[in-house]
Amino acid sequence: MRYPITIVLVAGLCVAPSLAGDEYEAPASYYNSVSATGATLKTQLLAAMSDGHIQRNYGNFRDMSRYIDTDPNNPSNILLVYNRASVSGSWDSGVTWNREHVWPQSLQPGSASNSSTGNLGDPHALRPANPSINSSRGNKPFGGGAATTGNHRSLGTFYFPGDTDKGDIARSLFYSNTRYPGITLVNGNPGTNQMGDLESLIAWHYLDIPDTFERRRNHAVYSASLNPLRTNNRNAYIDHPEFVWSVYVDQMNDTTIYLGDLEPADGASTIDIDLGAYLVGETIDPITIDLNKAGDDGTYYRVTPSAGITTSLDGCYQAFPIGPANSIPFDISFDTSLTDNNGLRVCNINIDNLDVTDQGGNGNGANDANDTVNITATVFEPGNASFDAVIDLNTLELDLGTIDTGNGPVSQQVIFFNIPADLFIAPIDIELISSAGDTTTITTDFMPIADLTTLDNAAMSVMLDDQSEGIFNATYTFRVYNARSMFPGDVLVEDLTLNITGEVAGSVCTPDLNNDGLLNFFDVSAFLSAYSSNDPAADFTNDGAFNFFDVSAFLAAYSAGCP
């Protein structure tokens, strides 16, 4: 689903995103000398790609292709250009596949032979190809514009390499033009030592970003660990596709990447997403948000999520194509490790416009500040109801004692707790689900409890009525849920059981002090003896004092008679 978002200014702790490169990234030092823009940038790239370059010849490609064009699903095979067909990597003199010059040999200096070096023998400028497809392409330049899609085919005087390879072909030609300055890229149909169509190549570069196969190939051409015929040089436009606009277009890229509904002046936008409450072990559902581009130019960008998050735009880079302002929805998924333990989870996603041009104005191109998605979720341990504030007491035996008939009911408080005291224990709801036994004599004033946290408690009264004699028992059962205000549905935790006993005794004929069942002179004599000696038996008012009120109470009881 599309997740609603609001733009806010967020400050606070974030889990740092990982910026480590993958196995196909260039060594950290390879582009150390590259820092400029425009023509100077192109010169610096030439120097970086030339430094330590081991020139291989055209003949070497017969053995090298199986190392650099390897089919990831079948290491014995290679993938061909234009159709990505998987065929045996063994060289059979060009029967199964032959060597395609991306920059046709007829449109560059020299003539290819097995000993040819330079661009004629450079593996960055060569591809294995199906012989008949190679023949149908001939020496046609590439073209067709941004709107051309589908499979490889001829388009009049131009050739379209197909959707899968159009970006790869563009970057191969950018490499050749930069590494070997004697050949030139032009718009339209090329002449001697030229190739085109540059406008189409630039558009394709933003429409077909370097995939894993292309990035591995670039690294394998360079790397001794993957390729015994390595060249020790790389295609900068695969490692840093953001350089293309500065080298081949201008220094005024007008793109701004941002989140939310309003384009910020400096390009910096921040959104805050609170995913809400989850229980330990629950799965956090994916969400979708929009990433926007303002401006008509194309740009590459990088999306870097912090640990525990993946997005559909992860990777070294992504791209907005050339064209009007648009939006890209991207999915954000959450690892199960985020709910392994309770606590507050604070994660982020950093989005960086990689364009290097700095003359496009505030907030555009290299002046476009980074964008951040701040994501929080609160993970709770399930609530734990108890009749005790410290120990986990799920069954309470409560004895209300003995009372006399007609002397009034007795009541006692029962307290519900959610333990232990911790901010990340889920609040609970408690409901009475059943009662059994003498529930007309033993009653409660329980009301449903909602959102009981560990920092609070809830009380109810239990009452024993005094109207009927006997020994009474009642059982009340309470069901506990994690708070439904935070966790939709009935997420059951446990049941609590309250067992209550109490006795209501018959009245005693207190004037019968000698306990013979009769009221007579002997009881009066016993009262007077107890009264004169301050015997508690004479304290008929139960106030601890011996006075006229006790005498009056005795006489009233004596006059009333006794069974």
pLDDT in tens, 107-122: 999 999 999 999 999 9
Domain shared by 315 and 414, yes or no: no
Domain shared by 371 and 406, yes or no: no
Residue 454 lies in a domain: yes
- Judge whether 481 and 428 are in contact, CB under 8 Å: yes
Residue 18 lies in a domain: no
Measured CA to CA, the distance from residue 415 to residue 419 in angstroms comes to 12
Confidence band (pLDDT; 50, 70, 90) for 315? confident
In the prediction, which pLDDT does 21 show?
A: 60
Residue 534 lies in a domain: yes
Q: For residue 376, which phi and psi values (nearest 5 degrees)?
A: -125, 150
Domain shared by 279 and 214, yes or no: no
pLDDT digits (tens, 9 = 90+) for 1-23: 333 333 232 322 333 444 446 89
Domain shared by 154 and 224, yes or no: yes
Domain shared by 540 and 450, yes or no: no
Give the strand pairing for 343-353 and 371-380.
antiparallel
| Rounded (10°) angle between helices 198-207 and 166-179 | 120
Measured CA to CA, the distance from residue 112 to residue 57 in angstroms comes to 9
Indicate which CATH number applies to the domain containing 304. Answer: 2.60.40.10
pLDDT digits (tens, 9 = 90+) for 497-547: 999 999 998 655 578 778 777 888 888 888 888 888 888 888 877 777 888
Residue 161 lies in a domain: yes
Q: Which has the closest alpha carbon to 321: 453, 434, 163?
A: 163
Last residue of a domain, one of 380, 402, 419: 380
Give the range of the structural domain holding residue 103, as residue numbers without chain letter.
Answer: 38-239
Domain shared by 375 and 391, yes or no: no
Domain shared by 145 and 283, yes or no: no
Domain shared by 112 and 138, yes or no: yes
Residue 24 lies in a domain: no
Query: What percent of the chain is predicted at pLDDT more than 90?
Result: 83
pLDDT digits (tens, 9 = 90+) for 204-256: 999 999 999 999 999 999 999 999 999 999 999 999 999 999 999 999 999 99
Measured CA to CA, the distance from residue 78 to residue 68 in angstroms comes to 8
Domain shared by 528 and 474, yes or no: no
Q: Would you state the structure tokens that stand for residue 396, as one six-digit string? A: 């309470």
Domain shared by 368 and 232, yes or no: no
Looking up tokens 């014995």, which residue turns up? 76
Domain shared by 432 and 551, yes or no: no
Residue 456 lies in a domain: yes
> How many domains does the chain fold into?
4
Residue 1 lies in a domain: no
In angstroms and rounded to an integer, the radius of gyration of the C-alpha atoms of the chain is: 43
Q: Would you state the structure tokens that stand for residue 189, as one six-digit string? A: 């149909």
Q: What 3-state DSSP class applies to 513?
A: coil
Domain shared by 296 and 360, yes or no: yes
Q: How many CB atoms lie within 10 A of CB 269?
A: 23
Last residue of a domain, one of 191, 212, 239: 239
Residue 306 lies in a domain: yes
Last residue of a domain, one of 481, 505, 529: 505
Is this structure's pTM higher than 0.85? Answer: no
